[in-house]
Every structure is written in structure tokens, then in C-alpha cells.
Chain A
Amino acid sequence: MLELKSVGKIYQVGEQEFRALQDVSLNVEEGEFMAFVGPSGSGKTTLLNLIGGLDRPTSGEIILDGIKFSDRSRDELSALRRKYFGFVFQSHNLLPVHSVYENVLFPLLLNGEKELEVRDRIMALVDQVGLGPEAHKKPHELSGGQCQRAAIARALVKRPKLILADEPTANLDAENSYNILELMLNLNKKYDAAFIFSTHDEKVTRYIKREIRLEDGSIVWDRAKK
């Protein structure tokens, strides 16, 4: 489904070049539950940004369902993000003035869908992540774990093929982290969406089925877990 061919990324910092990624090649299949692990600065977030079409590689090619990212304009990459990707962030990044329901609704509005037609679907998903009673509460009325659940519902509501989750448990305590990971695993099975984490949290690595270690912008190993 997703193929990275010799992807590299160089940032210009003043007059110096900083090589964030080099020669990264990998394939991701549908329904995978995998993570990029590694120390800070190893290139995990950069790699997620490139996969999500938020940034462009300096070299190499990213291909999703046969679509080459390098051929696409900025607006076309936005359209790809709307269609293929869901995002879960380290901090939940819910829109603070909108309720859980409205936050989950937002990606569908971007896709041009009518609220009346998707209301039941949203409420069902909000229920699935355990936030039914909190659907009309604002983010500031929720706990950190509840906010992250809302963010997961927002990422999944479009039925994307890929969920990119950047350190999704970094701001949660152990119990909430496990709950969130259980939830993601269940949703991964139910919706067959591939989950790609970037993390250095050991709790996450216990759940994932494929682990790719990055160091200094390069893949050190790529292994499946039982």
C-alpha cells in the first residue's frame, strides 16, 4: 500500500545542512500496527511528516496506492491527506472552542460531507471510543485520556487507510496509555486501518507488531514482533 524508496531529508540550518533522514526504504501493508522507534532526533517525526505529505523529501520517492507524492502539488497532497490519513498527535490538539462531536465532525466537513448525513456515524464512533456521554463537552472539560480518545475518533472518522500517531501516549499516565493502546489495537482490527506510531515509549512497543528502529536518520533494523 505504502512504499518508501531511498527517502532522504535534509534541512538547511543557516549555512549548514542537517541530514534528518537518509536512504530510508520500506513498505507498509494494509492493517499493519507498527512503530518507528528510536532516540530523540533519530528522524521518527520527520519520517511521519513525509509519509503524511506534510513535508517533501529531499531525495527518494514515496508512493501510496500507486500515487507518487513527488508528482503532486501542495493542494493535491492536502487532498491525499484528507482521503488516506488520520493523525493522532502527542498533545491531542483538539480545537478548543468545539465539542468532541464537532471535533470529530470537522474532517468530514473538509471532505464536503453534510453534517445531517454523518451525525449517526460520528456518534457511533464517539461511543466506540468511550466518550458517548461526553460527546458535547469541550476539550477543557475532559481528562487527557479522554481528549486523546476524541483525537483517535477524529483520526478514524474518515475511515482512512493510514493512521499516523506521533508519540500518542507521551502525555498520558500508564493506565491511560494502556487504555488508549488497547483501543487503537481494537480499532485497527475493526477498521483494518494501518497504524504507524512514532514513539520511544516501551508501553507502545509491547503492543505493536512491527518495529522499525531509526538512528541518525537511518533504519537500523526492521522486525516483526509476535
Chain B
Amino acid sequence: MIRWLIMGIVRDRTRFLFPWLVTTVGVMLMITLLGFIEGIFMSMVDMTAKLDTGHLRLVNKPFYEEEHLNPLDRALASEKETKTWLTQNSDPEIQWTSRIRWAALMDVPNERGETRSQTPVTGMGLDLLSESGSEIKRLGLESSLIKGRLPRRSHEMLAGYLLAESLGLEIDGKVTLLGQSFDGGFAADNYQVVGFVKFGVAAMDKKMALIDIEDAQTTFYMEDMVTDWLGFLPSRISIFDYDKIRNDLQAKLTKWRQAPPGDWVEDDFPILLSVLDQRNMGQISQTFLMVRKVLVAIFTFIMSLVLWNAGLLNGIHRYGEIGLRLALGETHGQLLRSLMIESLAIATLGCLAGSLLGGGFVYYLQEVGVNMGDAFVQTGMMFSDVMRGRLSLVGFLYGIVPGLAASVLGTLAAGVAIYQRSTAELFRELEA
């Protein structure tokens, strides 16, 4: 029977073409749209993670609660021991790196050594000098460099290009950082500015300076201490798994706190956060999920309406056939089932074509992207200039499942009219 139905579909283009086209276009649009917005969202998550929060973050709770003040006296000691613990107790795929968030006054001297300009800056101490260069790759510093070079030696600094402009910095010029040390004392240290960086985030371009983490430890008297441990997960791990990974590690951390490293002080209380716990990302992700659901619902509704009408048109086109089949003894239920099988077969082909086309578009957006740098130049949001799509299984499912569901709903709605019509009436109309 199924072969008989398929032959009918193949031979009767009017039965096939319109519903197939509707499903193909609908699924393609849905996969493309969802892939693009998921790409934008994940790009924002990744940017936030790389520049600021990590996908996971181990931080001392007292520091986290006042992090707007960068209270270095609340940094976490035992850097080496902590790194060993994190490596041994978390998934080997998580890359851990330490950072120091600091704040200081940046003083730019003139040729006589007197202050020419100065401004408060926020900065980050991170691994810029090791051979692996993982932080340089992670932050894309090489491609973000708009003038100068990357640091090669101790006490070299990268500055945001807008900060450099406002202070009149020059490449290889000297600056002095004046701040507070770990133990509340005065800290001052000289640095050579070797490069200007465009982060693509206005707030960072205006106020951010990067130095090597060991230099930061020296400048702020923080030997074997850091403010943050950031964990980076592979991109294949869904954002919705972050909380579980965090919770698993948190459970181990709770045990570790019962026998902490010797250099931790009594009120040290390291906690684990995921990117969703910080910078309002949890709320943003909920909004993203809501928007995605609404889009899927609207898409399914519209496609069901169109396919319902296609089903009705198809019903009119095949009125004679339907009347005849009922007269020959096919039950209304059998007839409806066969119409469903037909529509599912057509929808499956439509979903296949729509997935190929939509997947192709998203792949293009993922690999090439759309440059929207001009649109974001004045925003403080952590967006990359190039907006990229993201191919994901969920994106395909959100395209395909509603595509099939709309087809079934549309056929059911159209089939109800057939179901309610009496056999004799159909038969009379067939004969008329």
C-alpha cells in the first residue's frame, strides 16, 4: 500500500510540489534563523567567557562579592596547588588558566619624567609570555593588535587603543602603574607599552591594560596568588551543560575546603561559577531560549496554516479519488492514515532539502560570518565584529520537528473535513 501511495506522490506533481516547497522553505528558514541567532548568542557567551568570566570560574567569594573594587587582599593563595587540584579533579578537556584583575592609576611621564597625563585603568594579569601562548590565542590578541607588537619580555604592556589615544601613549613609551598591593601597601611599577589592542568592546578599549601574570604578581606583591581561575570548555559542550559541570566540580570543591591548602586564610571561601552565573548571562540565556521557543511556535503555526490550506486544496484536487476510495471500502480512518503517510513522506523530503539548504547557509555563516562591526562600534556589549552562525543538532531539530509536526497538523486539519463528510455525500459529489 505504501508503494502504491508513493507512486501516486511521484506521479502527481500537484500533490507533491506545493507541500514539499512549503516544508523545504520553512525548514530552511528556521534552521538558518535559529543557527544565526544561536551563533550570535554563543558568540556573546564565548566572548564574555574569554575576556572576562571563563565558562567556569573559581574565585574567592570575598573577592567576588566586591570585585568592582578589585580587592587584591581577597585574592586566592596557593596558585600551584590550586592548579594541580583543578587539573586532577575536573574533566581533562577543561583548560584552566589563572588571571589577576587589578586596578591602578596609569601615569604617563614626559621627557623630564614628570606627569604628562594619567588616568585610572583596570587591567588584567594573564599568561602572555609562556611558550604555549594559550591566552594570546584565546583572546585573539595577535589579530586584535592594531599597532606595535605582543609582549616578549617581562614588564611589557598592551593597552586598549582608545586608552592609548586618550593618554597620548606611544609604542615603546614608558608608563607607571600606581596602585595598592596585596597587603594594602603602596605599589608602583614601570612598564613599557609595546602594543595597542582593539578588543572590540568599547569599555575595554577605553580602560584596559594587559600585563603578564607574573609581572602582576611582582607589581602587586602577590607571589603564588591569583584573583581568578578560569576554565574553558570545548565548543561542542552545550551551554546547558555548564551548570551540571559546575555542580559536579563544586561538590568536589566542598570536600577540598574541609582540608584546604596551608596558605589559604581562615575566611577564604573559593566558589565555582559558570558564565551563566555572571554578567546577567543567565537572564540573557533565558531570554534567548524564550525567543527561540516563540520563533518555533510562530513558525509551526504559520506552516501548519499553509499546509492545512495545501491539504484542503489537495483534498479538492483529489475529491474524486477520495470519494471513490471510500466507496470501494476504505474507511475514513484508513484514508486519513494514508493521507498522513503521504504528507509525512513529503514533509520528510522537504525537511531533508530544507536541512541541506539551511545547514548550508548556517555553515557559510559559521565559517565566513557577517561583519557588523560598524553597528556595534559604540556599544559596550561583548560582541565580536563578525557575527557568525552556529551549526548545532538542536538547530536542526527545531527546524525538522516543527516541519514534520506542521505537516501532520495541517493534514489532520484538512482531513477533518473529509472525515466529517458522509460517504454517500462524497460519492454523490464524485458522480456529479
Interface residue ranges, A against B (CB under 8 Å): 45, 49, 52, 54-55, 74-75, 77-83, 85, 87, 89-91, 93, 95-98, 102, 105-107, 109-110, 115, 166
Asked if B331 contacts A95 (CB within 8 A), the reply is no
With contacts A55-B422, A102-B4 known, is A75 near B331, CB below 8 A?
yes
With contacts A90-B431, A105-B4 known, is A97 near B12, CB below 8 A?
yes
CA gap between A55 and B323 in the complex, in Å: 13
* Residue from A54, A98, A106, A107 within 8 A of B427 (CB atoms): A54
Give the distance to chain B from A171, nearest Cβ to Cβ, in Å.
12
Q: Is B80 an interface residue (CB 8 A)?
A: no
Q: Is B316 an interface residue (CB 8 A)?
A: no
With contacts A97-B8, A105-B4 known, is A79 near B329, CB below 8 A?
yes
Contacts of B377-432 to chain A: CB distance below 8 A:
422-424, 427-428, 430-431
Smallest CB gap from B422: residue in A: A55
CA gap between A87 and B334 in the complex, in Å: 19
Cβ–Cβ < 8 Å partners of B325 in chain A: 106, 110
Q: Is B281 an interface residue (CB 8 A)?
A: no
Asked if B333 contacts A75 (CB within 8 A), the reply is yes
Interface residue ranges, B against A (CB under 8 Å): 1, 3-4, 7-8, 11-12, 320-321, 324-334, 422-424, 427-428, 430-431
* Residue from B1, B11, B332, B430 within 8 A of A97 (CB atoms): B11
With contacts A55-B423, A89-B431 known, is A81 near B328, CB below 8 A?
yes
With contacts A97-B12, A98-B8 known, is A52 near B327, CB below 8 A?
yes
Which of A45, A75, A91, A110 gathers the greatest number of chain B CB atoms within 10 Å? Answer: A110
Asked if B7 contacts A102 (CB within 8 A), the reply is yes
Cβ–Cβ < 8 Å partners of A90 in chain B: 431
With contacts A93-B430, A95-B324 known, is A49 near B424, CB below 8 A?
yes
A-B contact pairs, 27 of them (CB 8 A): A52-B327, A54-B327, A54-B423, A55-B424, A74-B423, A78-B334, A80-B329, A81-B328, A81-B329, A82-B330, A87-B327, A89-B430, A95-B321, A95-B324, A97-B8, A97-B11, A98-B4, A98-B11, A102-B4, A102-B7, A105-B4, A110-B328, A110-B329, A110-B330, A110-B334, A115-B4, A166-B431
Asked if B7 contacts A98 (CB within 8 A), the reply is yes
